[in-house]
């Protein structure tokens, strides 16, 4: 029987449109990531892994993620 290779998960980020009803707080500036009908604002959502295990989700305003130096890499 062949040995199975276990994946090592790493933190990653994605860019998404802010949805109505979003109640996330930006991890960088600590203000709400708010939906606005007139502007299609975007947010970055990062799945954060510590020692290969999922730890938390962090939300950012798109511009705050860039200001923070893209701590989890470029947002896909």
Percent of the chain predicted with pLDDT > 90: 72
Residue 57 confidence (pLDDT): 96
Distance separating alpha carbons of residues 8 and 53, to the nearest angstrom: 8
> For the whole model, what pTM was predicted?
0.83
Q: Has residue 1 got a pLDDT over 60? A: no
Cβ burial, residue 46 (10 Å; 0-12/13-18/19+): buried
- At 12-56, the pLDDT tens digits run 999 999 999 998 999 999 999 999 888 889 999 999 999 989 999
Helices (H), the chain: 62-67
The residue extents of the domains of the chain are 12-67
Q: Select from 48, 59, 66 the least CA-distant residue to 16.
A: 59
Give 26's DSSP letter: B
């Amino acid at each position: 029987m062949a040995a199975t290779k276990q994946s090592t998960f790493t933190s990653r980020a994605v860019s998404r449109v802010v949805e109505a009803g979003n109640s996330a707080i930006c991890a960088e500036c600590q203000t709400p990531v708010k939906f606005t009908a007139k502007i299609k604002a975007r947010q970055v959502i990062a799945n954060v892994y510590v020692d290969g295990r999922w730890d938390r989700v962090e939300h950012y305003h798109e511009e705050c993620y860039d200001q923070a130096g893209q701590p989890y890499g470029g947002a896909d």
